[in-house]
Amino acid sequence: MRIELSGSLIRPDPLVVKFNASQNFNPQQYIDMGFTHFDVVCIGGGGGKGGGIDTANSGTLVRNYGGAGGGGGYHRVRGLLSALPNPSPVVVGAAGTPGTDHASNPASTTDGGDGGVSTFNGATCRASGGKGGKRAQSNSLTVTTQANGGDGGLGNRVAAGGGAAGGTAGTPTATGPGTVGVAGTDGTFVHDVLYGDIGQGGGGGAGGVGKYGAGGTCCNAATNGGRGSYNPGDTSVYSPGGTPGNDAASGSQNVTPGSAGGAKASPVNGLPYLFGQSSQPGTVIIRLTAE
């Protein structure tokens, strides 16, 4: 008796495809190459920074910063290529636009724009963008600016936000550090048996208040941004949050808000790169295998 096997026993090596812009994915093309399964990560775009006040060393000498945008959400889904329509649309979430700064008038500043949603075949995989940071609403050295950070995005969600809470601004004083605000919250990470891995973007840090010629002694520090999709058991997933920075122009210390963390696609692409942080675009990355 002779046994004959039809077809090929050669399986293609795993293939990772990163989408840099919105376009169509054609699963049949890869099925014809021998691939059978997909593993996709969607990370939403980070929210834009809020507008601030810069008196440019005149008038009240104030240098106020708007809040940082929230980080993009995270969603990971696995499935059969044959279950996808041909073509399957891909949308890559853009970074939120920065808010408008002004030289003196808080009424002329604007909030940062929300980060865009990233999707793979619509509801198959989706992650919302982070909310934009809030504008500086005061140029006073004794009144809070309300320059709060934006909330983070969330996996398996389309509308911006839904993730970790943004930080809140403190209250400055003209001769000292003032009352410290609240840092952006860390995003959580969970595995859902129905919808895949779902992570929250971190909350953006709140903006601080500085003053030209006062160095680091005045007037209110910014706050930290939260970690995105924080999973203490898997460092390949979460993105660290940022700490406040100094303003070189005025000499004020710790007045720029800490950025919010988005997420990594390391479980799919094996790389440590970060996506969806404050003011940064998101991504869609897919890994194809033959099983």
Give the model confidence (pLDDT) of 21-58 as tens digits: 999 999 999 999 999 999 999 999 999 999 999 988 88
Pairwise CA distance, residues 219 & 60, whole Å = 13
Q: Which of 73-77, 161-165, 252-256 has the lowest mean pLDDT?
A: 252-256
Residue 7 has pLDDT above 90, yes or no: no
User: What are the C-alpha distances in Å from 92 to residues 23, 76, 95, 128, 132?
Assistant: 9, 15, 10, 11, 17
Pairwise CA distance, residues 243 & 224, whole Å = 5
Any idea what DSSP says for residue 67?
P
Lookup result for tokens 């008196």: 55
Q: Model-level pTM greater than 0.85?
A: yes
- Average pLDDT of the chain is 93
**Token pair for 251:** 């000499």
Residue 6 has pLDDT above 70, yes or no: no
Sequence-separated (6 or more) residues with CB below 8 Å from residue 86: 26, 27, 28
Any idea what DSSP says for residue 259?
P
Report pLDDT for 9. Answer: 56
Report pLDDT for 156. Answer: 98
> Is pLDDT larger for residue 224 or for residue 253?
224
Q: Which of 61-65, 87-91, 119-123, 181-185 has the lowest mean pLDDT?
A: 61-65
Report pLDDT for 152. Answer: 98
Q: Rg of the Cα trace of the chain?
A: 22
